[in-house]
Amino acid sequence: AGSAGCSGQCQPGWYGPSSGATSAQECLACQPGSYMPLAAASACYVCAGGSFSTATGLAAACGDVCAPGMYSDVGMSTCLSCPAGTFSGGGASACQSCAAGTFSSISRTSCGQTCPVGQGLSTGPDASDQPACAVCGAGTFSAVPGTNCSACPSGTFASPSRDSCLATCNPGFEPSAAGAAATGGQGAGLCVGCGFCKECPATWYSAGGLACMPCPAGRASAAGASACSDCTPAAKQAGQCALCDPGQILVADASGRFRCSPCAAGSFMSAPGICSTCPSGSYNNATGQTSCISCRSSCPSWTQRVTDQCQATSDLNCEEWKQDMSLIAKMWMLVGTPFVAAYFVYIWAMYAPDFLVGRRKAALPRPFIQVSPTPSPSGQGVYFDEALGEWIKVAPDAQSGKEHSM
């Protein structure tokens, strides 16, 4: 029901939003967070910031004031807590932010702790999380207590929790561009535009903070190490031992520490950390090898003979027949030489006479011999050549009737 006086006006704390009203039933009470001290009002006033009202139909100004650590905006019916990182006194219409390097939890009247150098204020992902001091990250620093972390200038670096930026990183770190992964050998010395120090990975180290370097073969280091150490069983298990050179594997010594040891003769490194015996048909006569050599199938010369077959550590062994060859040479001198001499004498005796006679016949003149003009019944004549000691057949000349030698 509405409230109206005898004059037909809405009373204080009430208002009439519509024109042409015909009864007091059309007056409405002011809602919480508002008030109206006058009659015949068409609207209510809202509570001022820092105050509130929970009553309905309030005619006086909002008298409830927000407590310290709380605040209220205009027209609010209740007060709200100041969020973490802010504070307020009594009757506040808004909360104030904590100064740099200080923090507060929710509903705080002031900001408390001052962060030390190398740390700055940090809040969690939830607005209600209580802020706290956190170490400055890599590439940032805080030189004055109570100040937030600031980025390092170009060309300088800072590992976490630093109060200043340096031209070199802390031991176990190396300079690296923002967001770049740490890799050995990068960023040595000054690096314009870099502002981060990255941790050296396992099996690497950085003694002076300039660049991460690999540990020598068989040595070990954890991430962020400033020096390399012995490869212990625990370090080997954790993958912190540097790999050995090709042809070598990690072998535990009497003290239990691992050292690089070459693969023995007759074997080779078939996989990282594994030595295997040379397969059949191959050998290795040296240590620390990564492959085996194929055995030869026979001796290179007919004057050699096999003394040892191919083994894992040696090739097919051949040896000159020194003693046997000496014996064969003596037998040849005793038997072979006379035989060859007799053979040449035989050949000379068989063919030399005919050869000499033939050359003599060819050298003698063949004189023309006059024979009887009357041919023999066979049309041929014969005569005896005394110089040659042979009978020679002759034929008659058709024109002269003379015969000539054939």
| Three-state DSSP state, 379 | coil
pLDDT mean over 138-158: 79
Give residue for tokens 């912190």: 240
Q: Which long-range contacts (CB under 8 A, 24 or more apart) does 253-259 make?
A: 256/232, 257/230, 257/231, 257/232, 258/218, 258/230, 258/231, 258/232, 258/233, 259/218, 259/231
Q: How would DSSP label each residue in 264-301?
A: PTTEEEEETTEEEEPPTTEE--SSS-SS-EEPPSS-SS
Q: Tell me how far apart the alpha carbons of residues 121 and 223 are, in angstroms, rounded to a whole number.
A: 28
Are 247 and 270 in contact by the 8 Å Cβ rule? The answer is no
What residues contact residue 28 under an 8 Å CB cut-off, 6+ apart? 2, 14, 15, 16, 17
Average pLDDT, the chain: 76
Q: Does residue 133 register a pLDDT over 80? A: no
Q: Tell me how far apart the alpha carbons of residues 82 and 105 are, in angstroms, rounded to a whole number.
A: 9
pLDDT mean over 346-372: 58
Q: How many CA atoms lie within 13 A of 233 on its CB side?
A: 5
Q: Tell me how far apart the alpha carbons of residues 137 and 141 are, in angstroms, rounded to a whole number.
A: 8
Are 111 and 123 in contact by the 8 Å Cβ rule? The answer is no
Q: How confident is the model at residue 389 (pLDDT cuts 50, 70, 90)?
A: low
The predicted pLDDT at position 104 comes to 75
Q: How confident is the model at residue 403 (pLDDT cuts 50, 70, 90)?
A: very low
Q: Which of 249, 200, 251 has its CA nearest to residue 228?
A: 200
What is the pTM assigned to this prediction?
0.36
Are 197 and 215 in contact by the 8 Å Cβ rule? The answer is no
Q: How would DSSP label each residue in 151-203?
A: EPPTT-B--SS-SS-BSSPPTTEEEE-TTPPP-TTTT-S--TT--EEEEPPTT
Q: Tell me how far apart the alpha carbons of residues 99 and 273 are, in angstroms, rounded to a whole number.
A: 59
